[in-house]
Amino acid sequence: MRIGEHVAAALAAGQPILALESTIITHGLPRPRNLKVGLEAQEQLRAAGVTPATIGVVRGEAIVGLNDDELAEIANDDSVVKLSVRDLPIAAVRGLSGGTTVAVTAFLAQKAGVRVFSTGGLGGVHRGASETFDESADLIALAQYPLVLVSAGVKSILDIPATLERFETLNVPVVGYRTKHYPGFYVSDSGYEVEYQADSPEEIAAIAKARDELGIKSAVVVANPVPKEFELDPALHDAKIEQALAECKARGIHGHDITPFLLDYMQRETSGESLEANLAVYRGNVALGAEIAKALASK
């Protein structure tokens, strides 16, 4: 693992840093918009006084804090793969380049000493998991690495109530940001609630500090809903998700191939509306993550 020079300098100075995953760049967005969004997120953070730590794997090397050239390389590489924690040793030996999922981004961020991480949507329990045992490695990672993670809920294709139950079982606290309505990625309200809400970045930072003082090792998961004005129409969302699930089943698509298929399907079937909602989610989570990182750095 290598820590980028700008991230190493920020760590040494105790400055706020926000980790960002890279599968949104490698697998979540179409070219050339993927690279543009990645660079814009980094500029958004710098403008807010926060150091960006975009995490990815370039030719077998895990990097916490990709520079612009490295980000462009994985954004435009046709052979780039989607990596989780289990894949890191193989990627290292084979010299693979890859986008990092939430699980491996969390692993590398905490290993480097970065305490806050923003993403779009989380992985979780897949529908039908009682038969397939299909659960995202994100859940286990969030039970092991004491970060603050900002997301807009779990991906819409997942079993949301089962995922919330797994968070409880794994002792992962889930806190709604200014709401108890758990978001559903493209929509601000999934129809399910969480027990707690936090109303400021400073309150979230205080929760993380109390967790650390107690020696609890799990992440604090902050559920930050997409603003209502940017969400996908809930009725359209539900109809297209059901169609996407049926298409997945018909084509035999499963495992980590589901999410890229879902994102592409939703973009095509909503004439780009889901893409704009996705980007609004991401920008909002980056903004909130920046404020939490600043609040934590000041404690």
Nearest alpha carbon to residue 173 among 135, 147, 200, 136: 147
Together in a domain, 196 and 298: yes
Q: Is 299 a catalytic residue?
A: no
- Do residues 32 and 68 touch, judged by C-beta distance below 8 A? no
Q: Which of 82, 135, 155, 231 is catalytic?
A: 155
Quote the CA–CA distance of 112 and 20 in Å, as a whole number.
13
Residue 42 resides in a domain: yes
Residue 254 resides in a domain: yes
Sole residue written with tokens 């559903």 = 184
- Do residues 54 and 20 touch, judged by C-beta distance below 8 A? yes
Which residue, of 68, 87, 114, is where some domain finishes?
A: 114
Sole residue written with tokens 């150091």 = 51
Together in a domain, 38 and 9: yes
Residue 29, φ and ψ in degrees, nearest 5: -130, 150
pLDDT at 255: 67
Together in a domain, 110 and 144: no
Mean pLDDT by 10 residues, the chain (299 residues): 97 97 92 95 97 98 97 96 96 97 96 96 73 79 97 84 93 97 92 96 98 97 94 87 84 75 81 86 97 93
Residue 230 resides in a domain: yes
Segments forming the whole domain that contains residue 65: 1-114
pLDDT at 131: 66
pLDDT at 123: 82
- Residue 207's CB is within 10 A of a number of other CB atoms, namely 17
Please state, in angstroms and as integers, the Cα–Cα distance from residue 208 to each residue in 10, 151, 201, 229, 275, following that order. 20, 16, 11, 30, 32
Structural domains in the chain (count): 2
Q: Which SS3 state, helix, strand or coil, does residue 53 take?
A: strand
Residue 154 resides in a domain: yes
pLDDT at 275: 86
Together in a domain, 135 and 162: yes
Together in a domain, 133 and 103: no
CATH number at residue 245: 3.40.1790.10
- Do residues 215 and 144 touch, judged by C-beta distance below 8 A? no
Bridge partners (DSSP) of residue 176 are 197, 223
Structure-token pair, residue 88 = 């890191």
Cis (ω within 30 of 0) for the bond into 32?
A: yes
Residue 121 resides in a domain: no
Q: How many CA atoms lie within 13 A of 34 on its CB side?
A: 19
pLDDT at 7: 98
Residue 83, φ and ψ in degrees, nearest 5: -115, 135
Quote the CA–CA distance of 275 and 282 in Å, as a whole number.
11
Together in a domain, 101 and 220: no
Residue 96 makes CB contacts below 8 A (sequence gap 6+) with: 57, 59, 60, 79, 81, 83, 90
Q: Is 111 a catalytic residue?
A: no
- Residue 285's CB is within 10 A of a number of other CB atoms, namely 26
